[in-house]
Amino acid sequence: MGKINEEKVINLVKEYQEGNKSVLNTIIKEISLYVYNFPLIMYNRPRDEASEFFIYFMERIENVVRNFKDKGYRFTTYLTASLINHYKNFLLTNHKTIKVIYESELNEINIFYILNEENTPQDEILQKAIKFFNELDEFSKLIVKTFIFELTPEDLKLISKYTNKPIEKVIKEYEEILSKVSKKYQKRKKLIESINQKPSRSKLEKLKRINTLCSYSDVANLLGITVSNVGVSLKRIRDKFKNYAYKNLSTL
Domain boundaries, the chain: 1-102, 132-252
118 confidence band (pLDDT: 50, 70, 90) = very low
Closest to 248 (Cα-Cα) out of 84, 121, 132, 122: 132
Q: What is the mean pLDDT of the chain?
A: 77
Could you tell me the pLDDT band of residue 13, with boundaries at 50, 70 and 90? very high
Q: Please report, as a single letter, which amino acid is at residue 117.
A: E
Least confident of 62-76, 80-94, 118-132: 118-132
Of 19-33, 42-56, 89-103, 218-232, minimum mean pLDDT range = 89-103
Domain 1-102 has CATH 1.10.1740: yes
The helix-helix angle for 6-17 and 24-43 (nearest 10°) equals: 130
**% pLDDT > 90, the chain:** 16
* Residue 177 · residue 222 · CB < 8 Å: yes
CA distance 49 to 236: 37
Phi-psi region of 122 (alpha: psi -120 to 50; beta: other; left: phi over 0): alpha
What are residue 125's phi and psi, to 5 degrees?
-60, -45
**Predicted local confidence at residue 18, as pLDDT:** 93
Pick the range with the lowest mean pLDDT from 71-75, 192-196, 221-225, 244-248. 244-248
- Grade residue 94 by pLDDT with cuts at 50, 70 and 90: low
Neighbouring CB atoms inside 10 A of 105's CB total 12
Q: What is the pLDDT of residue 160?
A: 92
Nearest residue to 174 via CA among 198, 156, 199: 156
Q: Which pLDDT value is given to residue 248?
A: 64
